Amino acid sequence: MPTLLLIRHAENDYLKQGRLAGRLADVHLNQNGRAQAQALADALAPRLKDAPLKAIFSSPLERAMETAAPLAAALGLEITPHPALIETDCGRWTGKTLKSLKRLRLWQIVQHKPSQFQFPGGETFGHCQSRIVTALQSLCQPCQPKDLLICFSHSDPIKLAIAHFLGMPLDNFQRLSVSPASLSLLHLNESGARLLAMNCDPAFILPLP
């Protein structure tokens, strides 16, 4: 099984304003986000030139694709959109501010018992975890042990994937942190996975294969 480099999209105005963008289309990187995406490419591309990189996959949402674009261009690779890497479906909470949501009783369930929560009109964390884990396992299946795959996604899907591969209970996944434009590195194997790095700045010297 290969190594997975999981990258969260860079900053956008919804993120800066503390709003849930969910699966909204046309949410683009802002000026700082574009700088983050370019800095990511500048830091990673030289180290990936000779790496056994097989492909770059991304959530189809614009903010993820735009984060992936500078790195893909620097490496001369295409970005393959993958629907299962998309953000959690926040349903009727889409567009709402975190400040307003934190006043709700349901927010305590989101934070402390997420396995029991479903976004109103949206999906459960369990479903989100299942779809991204299934997708990552499927992408890894044809790969060799020393291969590297890059996947651009979103905060909760990345945290849920890491929690699964490390054997963490779903109710503990909110203890993890994944910042905008951060890198997390997982090496999958038959017994599960080894977390090599998490929530790292792109300048961090990743233990790449």
CB atoms closer than 10 angstroms to residue 129? 22
* CATH number for the domain formed by residue range(s) 3-200: 3.40.50.1240
- Tell me which of 19-28, 149-158, 199-208 is least confident: 199-208
Which are the contacts of 58, defined by CB distance < 8 A and separation ≥ 6?
Answer: 64, 65, 67, 68, 79, 80, 81, 82, 85, 151, 152, 153
**Regarding predicted confidence, which is higher, 154 or 145?**
154
Q: Are 113 and 45 in contact (CB under 8 A)?
A: no
pLDDT on residue 146: 85
Residue 146 CB-density burial (10 A; 0-12 exposed, 13-18 middle, 19+ buried): exposed
Confidence label for 22 from pLDDT (cuts 50, 70 and 90): very high
Which are the contacts of 21, defined by CB distance < 8 A and separation ≥ 6?
Answer: 12, 14, 15, 27, 63, 87, 94, 95
| The pTM of the whole model exceeds 0.85 | yes
| 146: phi then psi, degrees, rounded to nearest 5 | -95, 0
Nearest to 34 by CA among 74, 71, 75, 67: 67
Does residue 191 have a pLDDT over 90?
A: no
* pLDDT tens sequence across 98-138: 999 999 999 999 999 999 999 999 999 999 999 999 999 99
* pLDDT tens sequence across 29-81: 999 999 999 999 999 999 998 889 989 999 999 999 999 999 999 999 999 99
- Tell me which of 13-22, 50-59, 182-191 is least confident: 182-191
* Domain residue spans of the chain: 3-200
Half-sphere exposure (Cβ direction) of 85: Cα atoms closer than 13 Å:
27
Mean pLDDT, the chain, integer: 95
Cα 112-118-123 angle, rounded to 5 deg: 125
Strands 3-8 and 183-189, by their bridges, are: antiparallel
Which are the contacts of 31, defined by CB distance < 8 A and separation ≥ 6?
Answer: none
| 99: phi then psi, degrees, rounded to nearest 5 | -60, -45
In single-letter form, the type of residue at position 166 comes to L
- Tell me which of 128-132, 170-174, 192-196 is least confident: 192-196
- Looking at the chain, the whole-number percentage of residues with pLDDT higher than 90 is 87
